Amino acid sequence: MPQPKAAQVASAPVFSPNQVICRSPLKGGDELLEALMRLAAAAEPGLDAEAALKAVRQREAAAPTFLSPEVAMPHARVGGISRTLVAIATSASPEGFSFAGAEWPARLVVLAVAPLEAPAAYLRVAAAIARRLEAPGALDDVCSRTSAEDVAAFFAPEGVSLHGNVHAADLMEKPTETLRDTDSVKDAIDRIVATGCPEIPVVDKEGDLVGVASARALLRLCIPDYLLWMEDLSGFSDFQPFETLLRKESHTWLSDITDDDYASVQADGPAIAVAEAMARRGTDTCYVLDGARLVGVVTLPRFLHNVFRD
């Protein structure tokens, strides 16, 4: 995920070599979780390991969490602890650890257990791990190390450190749907109908966000302004305004009709700015930008899930 450019703030190490299983011979992900939870409990006497393990299993049963192919991050929030706990395992085998429901095995597993009252705490761990693994060959490097000390040193001399703030980049997903400003209204209608997305971002050839093609904007394009002032439309029995759009949809360009009133924040902006931008504009979608370039999307359901449930 893109990393925030803001200045770093106070941080705290969350794991040491004592919380590392190096080159584990285990194959099953569930068995590995038990071993990692024992290490986390050893680092925090207040942790109820059995209850925490149950919470992690329940969370991961819905959908195993992977930071990237071969990097799993099972996690949960639990009561009784005041800080985020992390335990890490690398696999002794290239085949890695197998997790039920996962599309691929994991060579690196990062267990994160966060306080119940810490919204999006696991995202800080995810961002810290992702920062260290983003370099080419980084995963091979850490998985080839032969001691817990070397694995811990790979992430940082003092272990993984967590930044105090969650940024917009930590909440976002990659855009799955985009349109070009050179596309037609027909292209937008086809895509909205096919995907069910109520709005789709429109970018230029540089990938910069120039507007949004929304079902609402297309509807407004069909309805003449004078109809909006009329209370009685019983005299209109056909779809003539829509027929007019159909005749010209293939040669009406999105650059002429895109909506520029959308919610957006910079990738290094605080997470609260995402909520403020959506609330201010009454929308369920916020676009994450690096300068003008579109790098991610945060939907309101995803925001609520990350803050209140993950």
Block residue for tokens 């895109």: 258
Q: Residue 47 and residue 41: Cα distance in Å, rounded?
A: 6
Q: Residue 36 and residue 176: Cα distance in Å, rounded?
A: 34
Q: Residue 111 and residue 40: Cα distance in Å, rounded?
A: 9
Q: Where are the domains of the chain?
A: 12-163, 179-308
12-163 has CATH 3.40.50.720 classification = no
The count of other CB atoms within 10 Å of the CB of residue 241 is: 15
Q: Residue 151 and residue 266: Cα distance in Å, rounded?
A: 33
Amino acid letter, residue 105: P
DSSP state, 2? P
Report the candidate in 172, 186, 177 with the shortest Cα–Cα distance to residue 245: 186
3-class state of residue 277 by DSSP: helix
Q: How far is CA 278 from CA 192, 247, 283, 285, 295, in A?
A: 21, 35, 5, 7, 17
Sign (positive/negative) of CA torsion 55, 57, 58, 63?
Answer: positive
Q: How far is CA 214 from CA 127, 186, 193, 208, 218, in A?
A: 32, 13, 11, 18, 6
Q: Residue 123 and residue 116: Cα distance in Å, rounded?
A: 14
Is residue 295 within 8 Å of residue 172, measured between CB atoms?
yes
Sign (positive/negative) of CA torsion 57, 59, 62, 65?
Answer: negative
Query: What value, to the nearest 5°, has the Cα angle with vertex 141 and ends 136 and 143?
Result: 125
Which residue(s) pair with 270 in the sheet?
167
Per-residue confidence (pLDDT) for residue 219, from 0 to 100: 75
DSSP state, 231? S
Q: Residue 60 and residue 73: Cα distance in Å, rounded?
A: 9
Report the candidate in 58, 64, 165 with the shortest Cα–Cα distance to residue 119: 165
Please report how the helices 300-308 and 271-281 are oriented relative to each other, as an axis angle in degrees rounded to 10: 140
Per-residue confidence (pLDDT) for residue 122, from 0 to 100: 82
Per-residue confidence (pLDDT) for residue 164, from 0 to 100: 53
Q: How far is CA 251 from CA 58, 174, 185, 264, 304, in A?
A: 51, 30, 8, 29, 40
| Helices assigned H by DSSP within 88-184 | 121-133, 138-144, 148-155, 168-171
CATH number of 179-308: 3.10.580.10
Q: Residue 278 and residue 263: Cα distance in Å, rounded?
A: 6
Instruction: Output the tens digit of pLDDT for each of the chain's 310 residues.
Output: 444 333 333 344 578 899 999 999 999 999 999 999 999 999 998 899 999 999 999 999 988 999 999 999 999 999 999 889 999 999 999 999 999 999 999 999 999 999 988 877 888 888 888 888 989 999 999 999 999 999 999 987 545 555 556 788 888 999 999 999 999 888 988 999 999 888 999 999 999 999 999 888 877 776 655 555 556 655 555 555 555 555 565 667 787 778 888 999 999 998 889 999 999 999 999 999 999 999 999 999 988 888 777 7
Q: Residue 149 and residue 191: Cα distance in Å, rounded?
A: 51
